[in-house]
Amino acid sequence: SAVISQKPSRDICQRGTSLTIQCQVDSQVTMMFWYRQQPGQSLTLIATANQGSEATYESGFVIDKFPISRPNLTFSTLTVSNMSPEDSSIYLCSVKETNKQNTEAFFGQGTRLTVV
């Protein structure tokens, strides 16, 4: 199974600033996703990170607020821009391995973000 490292694991940020979260996988993966888990809520998909092209965003999420990069098959970043307290959430990276017959998704430990 893929091992996913997310950095930072947690952060407290001032409103109006931006934070970039890194997701590093120990193997090449076909697909990488970013999810948000607001306090006491379930997980919501933000976007699919596409290697070498712009990310595909879900309804309610836009590139200006959540720019995503994916320069290669093992690494992606999510930036939370111009943060407000409403952005306080856990952000999770998820991957699907290349050449696997099933659709199991693996998750990082998440980044717990608090905006003050």
Partner 1 sequence: AQSVTQPDIHITVSEGASLELRCNYSYGATPYLFWYVQSPGQGLQLLLKYFSGDTLVQGIKGFEAEFKRSQSSFNLRKPSVHWSDAAEYFCAVVSNDYKLSFGAGTTVTVRA
Residue 11 beta carbon to partner 1: minimum distance, rounded to whole angstroms: 15
Q: How far is the CB of 70 from partner 1 (least distance, A)?
A: 15
Nearer residue to partner 1 within complex by CB, 23 or 80: 23
Total residues interacting with partner 1, rule: CB under 8 A: 22
Q: Decide if residue 3 touches partner 1 (CB under 8 A).
A: no
Q: Which of 28, 48, 50, 79 binds partner 1 (CB under 8 A)?
A: 48
Q: Is 114 in the site for partner 1 (CB under 8 A)?
A: no
Q: Which of 21, 33, 36, 70 binds partner 1 (CB under 8 A)?
A: 33
Residues forming a β-bridge with 22: 7, 77
Eight-state DSSP code of residue 9: S
Binding residues vs partner 1 (CB under 8 A):
31, 33, 35, 41-45, 48, 92, 94, 96, 102-110, 112
